[in-house]
Amino acid sequence: MAVSDGELTQMFEHVLKLSKVDATQSVAILKAHYSNPRTVRAAMEAAQRLGAKVYAVELPAFNAPVAMGNDMTAYCGDTALTGNLAAQRALEAADLIIDTMMLLHSPEQEQILKTGTRMLLAVEPPEVLARMLPTEADKARVMAAEAVLKQARTMTVRSRAGSEFRAALGQYPAVTEYGYADTPGRWDHWPSGFLFTWPNEETAEGTLVLDVGDILLPFKTYCRERITLEIEKGFITRIHGGFEAEYLREYMKYFNDPEVYGISHIGWGLQPRAQWTAMGLHDKNDGMCMDARAFYGNFLFSTGPNTEVGGKRKTPCHMDIPLRNCDIYLDDQAVVLAGDVVAPADSIAR
């Protein structure tokens, strides 16, 4: 059902309170021509209700020449903020930025966060924001899982479809997303609810099988046939199957960059209000499809860049691929079995 403007403002007020916004804070609304105007208005009105000092930074259109679609994740790296130091300084002056245009995977975002400014991305449709309105229980669930992930030295993933994947951990940090930005320098995304890390360089090995019903992003498609990825020393070396495998091969080949085949972040979904089926009810231009990334018990792996945690792979092609019905082990501890979370977050109320 449709969300009213009043309800959307109330939701933003709830999320900004969780993000520690009050009368002592300044809030910048980052927007572009394609930002949802209702989201921009609601964010600004909510911040004003909380007594914060509010201002907007609007950036001009930016078109990446090699981008093939309108999805905000179809091209990573340069943004409308690239080279615009005046705008970057204006954003760094804020305590919290509400990003309605998408700076993710840009060097400028990392530079802003290092100043202590917090950032919250909000680009999904209002109805999706409402269904996955973040709570303190969401944070508790994700942080409980982070405590286990941070201690692990290996991740192993298996599935009945034929996945048999293993990677060493510890070189890169664990990253959490629970829907609000409540600590200095934190980036988060509303809606959200998952966590991930990156494999140690050259250690990801094995086979990942995308089964019927698994999801390819930014294509925003459900697999109708199996796709098999063979992985050696941290890179996809072979993609085979039918038409959909051919499509994926050609898409990645288009970027003419060997770094696009690198395994990027790996983790699992922890948001019970996210739905595997939701993507089929939305137009492809409706946000980023965070349901697919966050639904409870998925194995989410990605390809391409790792610069946001200090890696060296800066490449414009980034794919997020959530798999269902997987077993995920951290060292010898099962955290997901057959697509159901079993530890440690199963003890946190859904």
**79-128: per-residue pLDDT in tens?**
889 999 999 999 999 999 999 999 988 889 999 999 999 999 999 999 99
Model pLDDT, residue 66:
74
Distances (CA, A) of 341 to 157, 167, 272, 324, 326: 13, 20, 10, 12, 10
Q: What is the pTM of this model?
A: 0.95
Domain boundaries, the chain: 5-123, 132-347
Asked if residues 107 and 85 have their Cβ atoms less than 8 Å apart, the reply is: no
The tokens for 8 are 């959307």
Distance CA 320, CA 216 (A): 7
- What average pLDDT does this structure show over 53-64? 90
- What average pLDDT does this structure show over 158-175? 97
Q: Facing residues of 329 across strands?
A: 156, 334
Instruction: Report residue 234's pLDDT band, with 50, 70 and 90 as the boundaries.
Output: very high
pLDDT tens for each residue of 247-279 = 999 999 999 999 999 999 999 999 999 999 999
- SS3 of residue 48 by DSSP: helix
Distance CA 325, CA 339 (A): 4
Distances (CA, A) of 257 to 66, 179, 202, 253, 304: 12, 33, 17, 7, 10
- pLDDT, mean over the chain: 94
- Yes or no: is domain 5-123 CATH 1.10.760? no
- Under DSSP, the state recorded for 271 is B
Distance CA 319, CA 246 (A): 16
pLDDT tens for each residue of 184-232 = 999 999 999 999 999 999 999 999 999 999 999 999 999 999 999 999 9
Model pLDDT, residue 314:
87
345 pLDDT above the threshold of 70: no
DSSP track, 87-149: HHHHHHTSSEEEESS--TT-HHHHHHHTTT-EEEE--S-HHHHHHT---HHHHHHHHHHHHHH
Distance CA 221, CA 298 (A): 16
pLDDT tens for each residue of 18-37 = 999 999 999 999 999 999 99
Model pLDDT, residue 349:
56
Distances (CA, A) of 58 to 117, 195, 196, 303, 310: 18, 30, 31, 30, 28
Model pLDDT, residue 192:
97
The phi-psi region of residue 332 (left if phi > 0; otherwise alpha if psi is between -120 and 50; otherwise beta) is alpha
Instruction: Report residue 284's pLDDT band, with 50, 70 and 90 as the boundaries.
Output: confident
pLDDT tens for each residue of 292-336 = 999 999 999 999 988 888 888 888 899 999 999 999 999 999 999
